[in-house]
């Protein structure tokens, strides 16, 4: 841990988990955005942000520590294990355990009202909040990927069908009841929401407070959102050939 943990507070505790593998270039923007969002709820909640440093070979750890957040080091190179380990550390480690867990990604930036929206979902009451994302820059992606986003992804109404680890929140009791992220190499976010749905939990799906994510082609998790965009581009190239 990189800073003293607060005493057990009389206000709600929100936990935020950020898995990171070699994210020295983008993690700072992610943590700046989270700090801004934390200020929006500073009068009504304690926010604990934990970066899971997963097999990092660059200066990702230095960036996290410079921002004063909690850190956890693992070597699994698996986003599902990283999210799961981060949630377990917040729930079962030292410091006040969060009643609500939220996750985002190191290449993403949450909007200022993101933690406020998480807190409102918790008091709604909902057992989970499943949000949407927007792509910051399409320059590395194919026209087919951009068209799919506007014609299919963005055209879906609310409640929308998408699930992203970059914009996800869940009540701690519901998270435990569903067994957490199960350490899956990919699709850990979808599996968790499926388990919540199957378990009869209240899942709130909304486009409000979307998270801005990178459009990079260097996907950190095969089968994730970035991988989906790359696959669309590859299919478009094959058709053109």
**Closest by CA position to 220, among listed 23, 73, 18, 60:** 23
Average pLDDT of the chain? 87
Sheet strands side by side (includes 128-130)? 70-74, 46-54, 13-20, 100-103, 168-171, 128-130, 203-205
Render 105-144 in DSSP notation, one character per residue. -TTEE--TTHHHHHHHHHHTT-SEEE--EEES--TTS-HH
pLDDT for 7-49, tens place per residue? 545 789 999 999 999 999 999 999 999 999 999 999 999 999 9
Q: Using the structure block, give the residue that is written with the tokens 């699709």.
A: 187
pLDDT at 76 over 70: yes
Q: Tell me 6's DSSP state.
A: P
Q: Where does residue 228 rank: exposed (0-12), middle (13-18), buried (19+ CB within 10 A)?
A: middle
The residue ranges of every structural domain in the chain are 13-135+158-213
pLDDT at 241 over 60: no
Q: Model confidence at 95, in pLDDT bands (50, 70, 90)? A: very high
Fold annotation for 13-135+158-213 = Spore Coat Polysaccharide Biosynthesis Protein SpsA; Chain A (3.90.550)
pLDDT at 229: 53
> d(Cα 16, Cα 211) in Å, to the nearest integer?
14
pLDDT for 132-191, tens place per residue? 999 877 676 677 777 767 777 777 778 889 999 999 999 999 999 999 998 888 899 999
pLDDT at 205 over 80: yes
Q: Model confidence at 217, in pLDDT bands (50, 70, 90)? A: low
Q: Count the alpha carbons within 13 Å of 140 in the hemisphere toward its beta carbon.
A: 14
φ/ψ of residue 162, rounded to 5: -85, 155
> d(Cα 121, Cα 207) in Å, to the nearest integer?
13
pLDDT at 101: 98
């Amino acid at each position: 841990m990189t800073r003293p943990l607060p005493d057990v507070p009389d206000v709600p505790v929100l936990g935020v988990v950020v898995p990171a593998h070699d994210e020295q270039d983008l993690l700072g923007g992610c943590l700046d955005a989270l700090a801004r969002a934390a200020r929006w709820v500073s009068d009504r909640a304690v926010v604990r942000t934990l970066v899971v440093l997963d097999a990092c070979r660059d200066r990702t750890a230095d960036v996290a520590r410079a921002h004063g957040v909690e850190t956890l080091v693992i070597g699994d190179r698996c986003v599902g294990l990283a999210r799961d380990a981060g949630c377990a550390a917040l729930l079962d480690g030292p410091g006040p355990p969060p009643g609500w867990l939220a996750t985002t990604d190191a290449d993403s930036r949450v909007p200022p009202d993101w933690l406020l929206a998480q807190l409102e979902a918790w008091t709604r009451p909902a057992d989970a909040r499943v949000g949407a994302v927007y792509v910051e820059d399409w320059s590395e992606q194919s026209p087919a990927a951009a068209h799919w986003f506007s014609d299919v992804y963005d055209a879906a109404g609310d409640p929308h069908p998408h699930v992203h680890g970059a914009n996800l929140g869940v009540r701690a009791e519901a998270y435990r009841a569903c067994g957490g992220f199960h350490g899956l190499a990919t699709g850990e976010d979808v599996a968790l929401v499926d388990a919540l749905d199957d378990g009869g939990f209240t899942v709130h799906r909304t486009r409000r407070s979307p998270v801005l994510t990178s459009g990079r082609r260097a996907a950190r998790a095969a089968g994730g959102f970035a991988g989906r965009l790359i696959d669309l581009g590859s299919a478009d190239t094959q058709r053109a050939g």
